[in-house]
Amino acid sequence: MDPIIQVKNFTKRYGDFVAVNDISFDVEEGSIFAFLGPNGAGKSTTINTLCTIFEKTSGSLLIDGKDVTGQKSEVRSTIGVVFQDSTLDAKMTIEENLKMHCVFYNIPKREVEERIQFVLKLVDLVAERKKLVAALSGGMKRRVEIARGLIHYPKVLFLDEPTTGLDPQTRAHIWEYIIKLQKERNITIFLTTHYMEEAEICSKVAIIDGGVIVAHDTPYALKKKYTRDKAYISTKNEAALERLLTEHDLNFIKKDGYYRVEAEYLAGLLEVLSIHKEYVTNIEIKKGTFNDVFLEITGKKIREDT
């Protein structure tokens, strides 16, 4: 089966500036795909082009076999989009917002009620349908946006930073809905996020930097390729420990009172230290994280606050 999203040699220029430079990637149907990148990397440009909002400069972008440039309305009926900034009408109720969207998508009147029930059930908001959007919490509003994005039964749901600005508990809830959509409805989810722990639970992650995809794989494969477990050792006999590590070709960095060894052969390191226990007051092994993957590939932290 062909991938549901196929991007080949996509380039987008703003005047002379190349915002996205010849990128290619596929997304499998029914998967959760994360687009990760620092500010200005080209994420919004790519998402907006896939959603038929921006025009490409060159390349080919297909969703469910339909061309985002030549078959805009077919693509629009295949996708749902949830933007970072709310586009709900705060003066209307949840139900009214959803009804308006049904009109927008030409959904037959006889189907409207069934669809509203269906999407509200998906995001646990059936009891709240008569509430004004203005009276809802940030997390509830995001759930309404997701419900609205699903009302025309799209095959692909685009979510731009779906959990940004939400507290950790609400973020976890939103993720429950995202995973439910993927598992129970086989909806393909394409999202951008700057939370590493979120990228880590996706099926595939593409890391984009400076308009170029610099890595694209499963989170497991990326971690395996780009991170190493590290050992943090503290000692009362610095000279002896340094001599020991040097003798065994174990590169170390001395920092804040401990020695950090990036142990490619962790077993070997532990073996050496087990013979020389007297040099070690404490040893801690830390597994590589997705933050390390990002730092290793792009040379930068994703956001200053992370």
> Nearest distance from residue 292's CB to ligand ATP, in Å?
21
Residue 101 structure tokens:
């969207």
Cα angle 44-148-125, degrees, rounded to a multiple of 5: 125
Distance CA 43, CA 191 (A): 10
Q: Which amino acid is at 128?
A: E
For binding to ligand ATP (CB under 6 A), which residues are involved?
A: 14, 17, 19, 37, 39-45
State which residue, 42 or 219, has the beta carbon closest to ligand ATP: 42
> Nearest distance from residue 14's CB to ligand ATP, in Å?
3
The secondary element (H helix, E strand) that includes residue 94 is helix 94-104
State which residue, 46 or 78, has the beta carbon closest to ligand ATP: 46
State which residue, 83 or 279, has the beta carbon closest to ligand ATP: 83
Residue 255 structure tokens:
């920092």
The Cβ of residue 183 has, within 10 Å, a number of other Cβ atoms equal to 11
State which residue, 98 or 208, has the beta carbon closest to ligand ATP: 208
> Nearest distance from residue 69's CB to ligand ATP, in Å?
18
> Nearest distance from residue 142's CB to ligand ATP, in Å?
18
In the DSSP assignment, the letter for residue 87 is: -
> Nearest distance from residue 37's CB to ligand ATP, in Å?
5
Query: CA gyration radius for the chain?
Result: 24
State which residue, 7 or 231, has the beta carbon closest to ligand ATP: 7
